[in-house]
Structure 1
Amino acid sequence: MTPPTAIDRLADWICSLHADRAVRNIPASVRSIAANCLIDTIGVAFAGSATAVARTARAIAVDAGSRGDAAVLGSHHLFSAPAAAFANATSAHALDFDDNCYAGFVHGSAVIAPAAIAVAQKRNASGRDLLTAFIVGSECEYAVGAATNSVLYDHGWWTTGVLGPIGACAAAAWLLKLDRRQTASALGLAVAGTGGMKACFGTDAKALMAGRAAEAGIVAALLAAQGASGPHDAFEHWNGFNGLFNQGEFNLATMAQLGMQWFLESPGVDIKRIPLCLSSHAAVDAAMALVARHAIDVAAIEEIVCDVPQIVFANLIYNQPATRQQAQFSMPFAIAVSLLYGSVQLQHLDGAVLQEQPVLELMKRVKMTVGPRWSLEGACEAAPEGANVRIRLRGGDWLEEFQAQARGSAQCPMRQDEIEAKFMQCMEAGSAGNVHGQGGSGNGGDRDTGALLLSRLKSIETLPSVRELFSVR
């Protein structure tokens, strides 16, 4: 007998959750984590809906003339599920303020949540079903991500673009209640058509590719629902995922962990405290801790050296950023703005801040290096985006701080009130951007709207229908 493929195993698990009793076996802790992921992702999507790249995505959705039942943030119109997922996932990743997961080094929620919401609205599904679909998509995507053993990411593929369609497709397939054959075909279509390069970093392509990943996953599920076939061996085929993307490596055993080990719990999801690439966060935390502990006058700093893993060095490529997108991948910007302003907020991602003389001067004093500590066995596994920060003050004194995990990571999570405060700040940012002409007025949120939406999201499992999720009534 031919052994089951990776897609067979994914499809089997997805379809096993069609029974209500099986859904009830999802641990409450997992559902709680997933609910916070939805809160965080919808918040950052509202803020991102005011950006130029989100407006571009909405314009394409409008131009396609696609009408349906799914809401798009920043628009009064309802769109087809693929169009809505494209626009909303672009918004969710536009500010790089969305969550991460180390199972694949992937931005999961920004792709999966918009896809799940769009299909749930198309199907007039309940909030409970939306949350379950999000969990299904997340677990499938992270299982595949874990199976790559980071080879995919290390070889220059952008995992959000490559793995995102898998998570979006799994969520959509579950909501559409595809049978096992259809589910496997949908996943085969999603895997066979996937792609994404890290060359997108620092440009609009990064957010737009997140949008395309969400759209592609839904389209694959809808095609399979209409009878289209897809390769069930899309991973193992000699011209498949494993060989073309992952240097022939793939740990099929992770598929067997679905439903027993929950990837939303371990390695967990990292919710961002500041709107920058997560690679900079631990270094920022370490630098801020040094300044606070030693009451350092920032003007007295001569040099800041951040000793980081190779992955951080490779991600943060802009020492002299000229745009918002470049600033989000700049260690000097992250450190300088944090020390000068006390934190990095959405309003700091502005061209004017990049031109401020104190920011420019402090950025020149920040350096990154990859020291020998990261070659020690287990060092990168224990602190995948950690940092050892040394600050030299005028007069020659050095101060040092090591930070293994950033605050907001799964190992050092934000408090519930901090997650909710971030949500409200994002809602206000989206509302301000829309009011000032930077986006369609649509359903961008003010504080009252934000409070209403937050209340709905906190009780998502009791909502009879998600079609009114973003309604201000």
Structure 2
Amino acid sequence: MLTQQLARFVCETKALPGEVQAAAKVALMDTLGCALAGVTEPAARLAREHVAEMGARPVASVWGANFSTAPAEAAFANAIATHVLDFDDTLSTLRGHASASTLPVALAVGEQMGASGKQVLLAYAIGIEVAGKLGRIFGDSHYLKGWHNTATVGIFAATAVAAHLRGDSEQVLRNAWGIAAAECGGILRNFGTMSKSFQSGHAARSAILAEDMARRGFTANEAIFDGNDSFQRLYGAEEKNAGQYVQRLGSPWDLVQPGMNYKRWPCCYCSHRGLGGLLELIAAHQIKPDEIEAVRIGFPPGADEPLVYNDPQTGLEGKFSAQYPVAALVIDGRLNLQSFTDKAVQRPAARAMMKKVERYRVADTAVYSGTVGYTDIAVKTPRGEFSMRVDKGPGSRSWPIPEREHQEKFLSCAVCAMSAGKADHLLAMIISVDNLPDIRELMTATALKG
């Protein structure tokens, strides 16, 4: 049975291969950096206000703040901060943001229990493995029906993280997954609003609640992924070849194959292949902004589903637009956190350049995603049209970000919430997190502002 096999893997896995542990550390660095930049966003501030007013027992840190709370509430606030900028990693097998809910749960529960750095990395990697394999089992149809995999699959991955750290039995975890199914939600329609990040926060909070209730003896269906009325079939999944993916648990680990896609720019990853190609065309042909007559971006089926705003009016909407990131990159020569403010999107120059950007559908019989497939990009100038097909994603294993740039991204994000000195100290702790006897040391450095 699928549910039982997944639960056995979660509960019986006791160690990570070296390359998987190393990959988990990179993900930790990227995720914490994104979250510390995200704490300044209105959505994250509202989440912290809500959590602070609840007055829960202070055992888990709220990142970039000066208070602690219950693990479920800390995970809720921290997951929203992680995901709100859309700067966090993506996983092609999940078709979503794998760390957004799993790492906040790993760190909140790990902090409560005084887990070591290695134990937290192990639980996180197990969660990513569950996310990737369930993502494959669900297939493209679940996402293309409008479900937000980051939340709808992420909740089960995050529940696995909590269960592993708690040392739960397989039966407890199976019950926890049944409870999580009762709490599951998240839709693509919320993209471009605060509720996209709320969905990852809800998944993280609900995962901790589900595990806690199951551990106390609360019951649910113990085979939620099995049978004709399984969760995934109810939610429109294809469920193709489920058995073969379960047999591949840990062989290979999704953290290393296909590996995470790390973002160079804080916007939807569906844009990134085209943006990377645009930069290459500009550099190769010395294209100046004022000579660009038109930019054409071609997406095959499924590759641009989240890019729902052709005429974005806000920074959040701009993150889910095919046109705006291209316009901003052409005008400014870069894309960063400041590129996606409401004011930046409303600039006359940006709005004029957006009118020159055309998106179109590339005829193809296959279905792709933001992390799998290709993007066609063409720039028309008086000197002629320059074009290319980009079949790899910036920040992926095939187009990796150097270690130095990973660290630079972390530091540039972390200083949004703390001093440069504290950011440097935190980075050093992350680099050696596998040697930390108690993850609370890292969380103390993360939580306090100044």
TM-score normalised to the size of structure 1? 0.91
| 3-state SS in 2 of match to 1:232 | coil
Query: 2:195 is aligned with what amino acid?
Result: A
- Give me the whole-angstrom Cα distance separating, in 1, the residues matched to 2:185 and 2:343: 35
Residue 411 of structure 1 aligns to a residue in which SS?
coil
In structure 1, how many angstroms separate the alpha carbons of the residues matched to 2:184 and 2:107?
A: 21
1:458 and 2:431 are equivalent in the alignment: yes
- Once residues 164 and 259 of structure 1 are traced to their aligned partners in structure 2, the CA distance between those partners, rounded to angstroms, is 18
Structure 1 counterpart SS, 2:201:
helix
Match for residue 29 of structure 2 among 27, 32, 39: 39
Q: Deviations over 1:257-300 (max 9, x none)?
A: 11222111122110000000000011111111111111112111
Contact preservation (8 Å) 2:123, 2:161: yes
* Structure 1 partner of 2:6: 10
Structure 2 SS opposite 1:188: helix
Instruction: Tell me the equivalent position of 2:323.
Output: 332
Structure 2: distance between partners of 1:404 and 1:169? 34
Tell me, yes or no, if the aligned pair for 2:303 and 2:370 is still in contact at 8 Å. Answer: no
The 5 A counterparts of 1:211-222 are 211-222=201-212
8 Å contact from structure 1 (residues 149, 251) kept in 2? no
Aligned to 1:389: 377
> How far, CA to CA, are the matches of 1:287 and 1:394 in structure 2?
17
Residues in 2 aligned to 1:293 and 1:263: alpha-carbon distance in whole angstroms = 34
Q: Call closer, same or farther: CA 1:381–1:74 in 2, change over 3 Å.
A: closer
Which deviates further from its counterpart, 233-242 or 67-76? Answer: 233-242
Q: Is the 8 Å Cα contact of residues 303 and 391 (structure 1) preserved in structure 2?
A: yes
CA 1:252–1:380: 2 relative to 1, 3 Å: closer
1:176 aligns with: 166
Q: How many residues align?
A: 445
Structure 1 residue 248, shift from structure 2 partner: 5.4
Q: Which moved more, 1:223-232 or 1:386-395?
A: 386-395
Structure-1 separation of matches of 2:370 and 2:34: 28
Picking from 38, 46, 49, the partner of 1:48 is 38
Alignment check: 8 A CA contact 1:389 1:402 kept: yes
Cα RMSD (Å) of the superposition?
1.7
C-alpha distance in 1 between matches for 2:167 and 2:63:
26
Pair 1:448 & 2:435 matched = no
Shift of residue 387 of structure 1? 1.1
In the TM superposition, what are the counterparts of 1:394-433 in structure 2 within 5 Å?
394=382, 397-428=384-415, 430-431=416-417
**CA offsets per residue over residues 35-92 of structure 1, 9 Å max, x none?**
1001000000000011100011111111222123100013211111000000000000
Instruction: Name the structure 2 match of 1:123.
Output: 113
Counterpart of 1:299 in structure 2 is 290
Q: Sequence identity, in percent?
A: 29
Task: Tell me which residue corresponds to 2:347.
Answer: 356
Whether 2:147 is the aligned partner of 1:147: answer no
SS where residue 150 of structure 1 aligns? helix
Q: Which runs of 5+ in 2 are unaligned?
A: none
1:439 corresponds in structure 2 to none
TM-score, normalised via structure 2 length: 0.95
- Supply the AA of the counterpart residue of 2:10: I
| Structure-2 separation of matches of 1:471 and 1:68 | 12
Structure 2 CA distance, aligned partners of 1:188 and 1:157? Answer: 19
Whether the 8 Å contact between 1:14 and 1:174 is mirrored in structure 2 is yes
SS at match of 1:399: strand
The 1-side partners of 2:227 and 2:140 are apart by 20
Partner amino acid, structure 1, of 2:27 = C
Identify the residue that residue 100 of structure 1 maps to in structure 2.
90
Counterpart Cα distance in 2 of 1:356 and 1:14: 50
**Is the partner of 1:292 in helix, strand or coil?**
helix
**Structure 1 unaligned residues grouped into runs of 5+:** 432-444
| Other-structure match for 2:300 | 309
Whether the 8 Å CA contact 2:98–2:128 is kept in 1: the answer is yes
Go from structure 1 to structure 2 and tell me whether the alpha carbon gap of 1:385 and 1:426 turns closer, same or farther (over 3 Å shift): farther
Residues 179-190 of structure 1 mapped to structure 2, 5 A cutoff: 179-190=169-180
> What secondary structure does 1:312 align onto?
coil
Please report how far the alpha carbon of residue 382 of structure 1 lies from its aligned counterpart in structure 2 after TM superposition. 11
User: How far apart in 1 are the matches of 2:371 and 2:190?
Assistant: 25
